[in-house]
Amino acid sequence: MQATSTLRESLITGGKTVRDVSEDISRQVEGKPTRLWWMAMGISLVFLMFGVYCLTTVLWEGIGMWGLNKTVGWAWDITNFVWWVGIGHAGTLISAILLLFRQKWRMSINRAAEAMTIFAVICAATFPLVHMGRLWLGFYWVLPLPNTWGSLWANFNSPLLWDVFAITTYFIVSLVFWYIGLIPDFAVIRDRAIRMGNNTRATIYNALSFGWDGAAKTWMRYESVALILAGLSTPLVLSVHTIVSFDFATSVVPGWHTTIFPPYFVAGAIFSGFAMVLTLLIVTRKVFKLEDYITIYHIELMNIVIIITGSIVGIAYITEFFVAWYAQVPAEYYAFYNRATGPYWWAYWSMMTCNVISPQLFWFKKIRTNIVSTFVLSIIVNIGMWFERFVIIVTSIHRDYLPSSWAMFYPTMYDVGEYLLTFGFFFTAFFLFAKFFPVINMAEVKSIIKSTSERKH
Amino acid sequence: MNNTTENYLVGIFDDEDILLHSVEGIREKGVKIHEVYTPFPVHGLDEVLGYTRSRLPIAAFLFGITGTILALTMQIWMLGFDWPMIIGGKNYVSLPPFIPVTFELTVLLSALGMVATFFIVSDMKPYKKPRSYDIRSTDDKHVMAIDLAANKLSKDDISRILKDNGASEVNEKNF
């Protein structure tokens, strides 16, 4: 008895058996790192080291090292924060929301996407932490801890504090979800190590797998846990970017004070997150020879998500402009007029080109099923999404109600350095993950191999 | 070595559909199955083995509601009673701004509590050495363990029943 869909293309190609899945995915964990891996790692570490230098200077001298001024008090740091948090959203969308919708194509890509989420959230968190200036006192400012000021508690009315709780919860729950998924696969590597006689590896991976045995009863509980974690993560991921958008939307700055922000930010987050998943996976599938698991069909489906979310983002941009004109509030009207034609016009039009026009190319099947064009467009989308946050943040505050305090923002080396720090960290962490952890969820892929593989029994 | 050895008969199955049918067949013959070990979750296996549904959702709910109560109590007590402050001219205790933190702590406690419960009830810990009936059970074989001491039928009978129901191999394993 075999159920093969005639409507959908095969998710796993190359006539793989269950055995092949263990073999293909475990191989890269067991083998020695390739020269390519060392080179990639080296480049990431160079970025990381330069970033650490800039970060240390900023922590030592204060955030005056950044290009901030009295008018523009939030610039690259918050732009980068929102950008990284947004990137994280795709991982949770793939692993949680697509699980609830029973989308089987998530199975080959969820592991790497979730890893990306976790690293991206760590990168994001560094910016507000450093922006607090005196990091060592920050815990009292952001967490409700008893303190020597007579227990003057944190302000729960502030969206910035909500952010602390949202990002922390998001990080912990994503980490737990990701780890739960890894447990059975660690056991695969452990048992392979036992068969190869590699005791050290067997011990390490047994500890990592929490002594997993794959009993039917454990699997039953495990599936229950995965489903509930997906159910919890789904509203969680929507809440996180909603709360990030509250940082702006609850203020009275023209250009920020809009009710459209939460859905617009969530769509933008998924949009940029999928672009980053594509950038990473196109490289990963090539380096680890996973073309049979991450197929063109997977890439096409992700590109379709990019068209949808990219179009939502485009409509949001246009809606903002329409409302600014229609409401006829001078400050609001000027904020948007200034965005498109003021001194930051180039940032605005880069954003429009990258985010609204470029993803529309994916309507052509030739473009969305082509690796090179997808790779290029995925990077363009993320450049556009960075500009989106920069435009929202900097162009709104650089010219607000009081013309005498209007100013421009110019980044310094330390702004750039901290951004490079997060890139260095992100790729270092991702390459370590790809080397030591199975990059594809073997247990899940094995469970669909019969119904979706090309192999005929 | 321990003197009291446990004797198991281990049936190996190559395919999850054969396994599902064979579990039913084997249980009908009156053989008590100790446990089945599979490389991936096989849907419907818990039902044919007669397992009752997991109560982990209840644990998740209880931990979640604890988080809700904890978060609300904390915020109302801190901002409303311990150190009341006027912020933006609003009431000391107003629920809408407390909702985000309440929601996040509900999710956090629910997730962490449920996963901790899962590890405890499944007896999973980093230093645990799991019993392996057949090393291939994490690779591509479905492994059925039958405790001979718990069954009245003889070893040969059970072995025959396993083979008749589609087991590709039947081995003995003693601990």
For residues B73 and B111, state if they share a domain: yes
Distance (Å, rounded) from C-alpha A100 to C-alpha A343? 46
Domain assignment of residue B1, yes or no: no
3-state SS record for A248-288? HHCCCCCCCCCCCHHHHHHHHHHHHHHHHHHHHHHHHHHHC
Contact B78, A246 (CB under 8 A): no
Q: To probe the interface with B, which of A217, A442, A450 has the most B CB atoms within 10 Å?
A: A217
Domain hosting B65: range is 56-121
Distance from CA of B26 to the nearest CA of A (A): 16
Q: CATH number of the domain at A18-145+154-452, please?
A: 1.20.1630.10
In a domain, B87, yes or no: yes
A318-364 pLDDT per residue, tens = 999 999 999 888 988 999 999 999 999 999 999 999 999 999 999 99
Q: How confident is the model at residue A49 (pLDDT cuts 50, 70, 90)?
A: very high
Q: Is the model's pLDDT at A451 over the cut of 80?
A: no
Q: Is residue B128 part of a domain?
A: no
CA distance A211 to A230: 24
Query: Order of strands across the sheet with B7-13?
Result: B35-37, B142-147, B7-13, B169-174
Amino acid at A82: V
Q: Give yes or no for a contact between A253 and A392, defined as CB atoms under 8 angstroms apart.
A: no
pLDDT tens digits, A273-299: 999 999 999 988 888 888 888 888 889
In chain B, residues with a C-beta closer than 8 Å to the C-beta of A207 are: 126-127
Instruction: Provide the shortest C-alpha distance from residue A262 to chain B (in Å).
Output: 13
- Tell me which of B20, B68, B122 to substitute to probe the interface with A (most A C-beta atoms closer than 10 Å): B122
Q: Does the distance separating the beta carbons of A190 and B35 come in below 8 Å?
A: no
Number of independent structural domains in chain B: 2
Question: Strands B142-147 and B7-13, how do they pair?
Answer: antiparallel
Q: Which of B45, B107, B112 best probes binding to A when mutated, by most A CB atoms within 10 angstroms? A: B107
Over 50: is that where the pLDDT of B99 sits?
A: yes
Q: Which of A224, A240, A444 to mutate to test the interface with B (most CBs of B within 10 A)?
A: A224
**pLDDT for residue B100 is more than 80:** yes
Same domain? B49 vs B72 = no
Q: Where are the alpha helices (DSSP H) in chain B?
A: 16-28, 45-48, 56-76, 99-121, 155-164
Same domain, B114 and B60: yes
Domain end among B121, B144, B164: B121
Amino acid identity at A429 = A
B170 within a domain of the structure (yes/no)? yes
Q: Looking at residue B1, what is its pLDDT?
A: 45
Is residue B94 over pLDDT 90?
A: no
CA distance A388 to chain B (A): 25
Residue B127 lies in a domain: no
- Those residues with Cβ within 8 angstroms of residue A422's Cβ, 6 or more apart along the chain or in another chain: A51, A80, A84, A123, A124, A126, A127
In a domain, B91, yes or no: yes
CA end-to-end span of chain A, whole Å?
9
d(CA B42, CA B35): 13
A344 vs A387: CA distance, rounded Å:
10
Chain B partners within 8 Å of A219 (Cβ):
38, 41-42, 45-46
Q: Quick check: is B2 in a domain?
A: no
pLDDT at A453 over 60: no
**A222 and chain B in contact, CB less than 8 A:** yes
Do B60 and B46 belong together in one domain?
Answer: no
- Whether B142 maps to a domain, the answer reads yes
Residue A401, burial from CB neighbour count under 10 angstroms (0-12, 13-18, 19+): exposed
Q: Which pLDDT does position B3 carry in this prediction?
A: 58
Same domain for B12 and B61, yes or no, is no
Residues B41 and B91 in one domain: no
Q: Dihedrals φ, ψ of A257, to 5°?
A: -80, 70
User: What CA–CA distance (Å, rounded) separates A154 from A157?
Assistant: 9
Nearest residue, CB atoms, A166 vs list B15, B87, B104: B104
Residue ranges of A 246-275 with Cβ closer than 8 A to chain B: 246
Residues of chain B with C-beta less than 8 angstroms from the C-beta of A221: 54, 56, 118, 121-122
Of A85-89, A123-127, A345-349, B1-5, the range with the lowest mean pLDDT is B1-5
Q: Are strands B7-13 and B35-37 parallel, antiparallel or unpaired?
A: unpaired
Output b/e per residue, A16-38; b: 16+ Cβ within 10 A.
bebebbbbbbbebbeeeeeeebe
pLDDT, residue A398, reads 92
This complex has an ipTM of: 0.92
**DSSP assignment of A62-124, as one string?**
-GGGSS--SS--SSHHHHHHHHHHHHHHHHHIIIIIHHHTT-GGGTTTHHHHHHHHHHHHHHH
Q: Contact B143/B37 with Cβ under 8 angstroms?
A: yes
- Write out chain B residues lying below 8 Å of A211, CB-based: 123-130
What confidence category does residue A224 fall into, taking pLDDT thresholds of 50, 70 and 90? very high
Of the candidates A82, A122, A143, A264, which has an alpha carbon nearest to the alpha carbon of residue B105?
A: A143
Chain B: residue nearest A19 by CA? Answer: B140
Q: How far is A288 from A437, CA to CA, in rounded Å?
A: 13
